[in-house]
Amino acid sequence: MLEIKNLDAGYDKLQILRNVSIKLKKGDLTIIIGPNGSGKSTTVKSVFGLTKRFKGAVLFEGKNLNKLKTHERVRLGIGYVPQGRLVFDTLTVEENLEMGGFGLPTEEVEEKKQEMLKLFPLLETKLDQKASFLSGGQQQMLSIARALMRTPKLLLLDEPSLGLDPKTQAHIFQIVKRINTEGVTVMMVEQNAHQALAICKKAFVIENGRVALSGGPSLAKKKSVQKLYLGG
């Protein structure tokens, strides 16, 4: 479904990723862990063409994305939940949702909006409020709902649990799991390695811009991974 192939990428002249290769099969729930600043977000951003590519390629359903603009890639069916709960602060909750379905027929947007309110009932009473007034957890829900509006085949989430209380974190993981069981392929960057490894099918460890390790949930049993990411 998604193939990142020998990718060298970064910002301007600065190279961050070195020969990164990641392959996702349809239906996978893949997590990416790794230290701060190792290039996890850069990997995710590269899928959307938000970085400078030096070498290699990103393929989606066999199609090379290299030449496509960001908005064209998204329209192929890739959803993005960026790090830092980047909702549109100056737009209302409802407008945020509508932007997630930008370019789709009005009836479809309405339908998806109702579907999202069922999945995230917390948002129902906040529809007319500016997104900046939501709590952190609510903003993260909105960010996920926004990405789902387009009914993506592939959803990329960048540290969705970051800065949230444990209860909200658990809720987010539960929702991600549910989205995946409903057929959406998921790739998620997570610091919260314990919980993430517990729900994933595949995991990649990125260090210094390279894929240092990869494997299944059993990766959690590896000594080096335990020491670095699982607190012992």
Partner 1 sequence: MAVWAQLIMNGLIAGSIYALMAAGFSLMFALQRFMNIAHGSSYVVAAFIAYTFAVILKFPMWISFLIGILAAAVLGILINLIIFQPLQKQKEKNNALLLSSFGVFLLVEAIILMVYGADVKSFGLPVKVGMDVLGAKVTPVQLVIICMAPVIFGLLALFLYKTKTGVALRATADNETIAKTMGINVRFMTYLTTGLGSALGGVAGILVALEQNLEHSMGMMAVLKGLTAAIIGGIGNVPAAILGGYLLGLAENIGVWYVPSGYKDAIGFGVFILFLLFRPQGFFGEKRREEASG
Ligand X SMILES: Nc1ncnc2c1ncn2[C@@H]1O[C@H](COP(=O)(O)OP(=O)(O)O)[C@@H](O)[C@H]1O
Interaction partner, residue 71 (Mg ion, ligand X, partner 1, none; CB < 5-8 Å by kind): partner 1
State the binding partner of 80 from Mg ion, partner 1, ligand X, none, CB within 5 to 8 A by kind.
Answer: partner 1
Q: Which is nearer to partner 1, 117 or 189 (CB)?
A: 189
Minimal distance, residue 158 CB to Mg ion, in Å = 6
The least CB distance from residue 37 to ligand X, in Å, is 4
How many C-beta neighbours within 10 Å does residue 191 have? Answer: 14
Distance CA 195, CA 165 (A): 14
Neighbours of 117 (CB within 10 A): 18
Interaction residues for partner 1, span 114-173 (CB under 8 A): 132, 146, 150, 158-159
Supply φ then ψ for residue 60, to 5 degrees: -125, 120
Binding of residue 21 to partner 1 (CB under 8 A): no
Q: How far apart are CA 177 and CA 30, in angstroms?
A: 11
- Find which of ligand X, partner 1, Mg ion, none residue 221 binds, CB within 5 to 8 Å per kind: none
On whether the CB atoms of residues 59 and 216 are closer than 8 A, the answer is no
- Rounded to a whole number of angstroms, the CA Rg of the chain reads 17
Which stretch of DSSP H or E encloses residue 170?
helix 166-181
Q: Which CB atom, from 6 or from 132, has the smaller least distance to partner 1?
A: 132
Binding site for ligand X (CB under 6 A): 11, 14, 16, 34, 36-42
Partner in contact with 48, chosen from Mg ion, ligand X, partner 1, none, beta carbon below 5 to 8 Å by kind: partner 1
Of 198, 142, 151, 203, give the one whose Cα is nearest residue 179: 151
Q: Nearest 5°: CA angle at 169, between 182 and 28?
A: 35
| Chain contacts with partner 1 (rule: CB under 8 A) | 41, 48, 50, 69-71, 74-75, 80, 82-86, 88-91, 95, 98-100, 102-103, 106, 132, 146, 150, 158-159
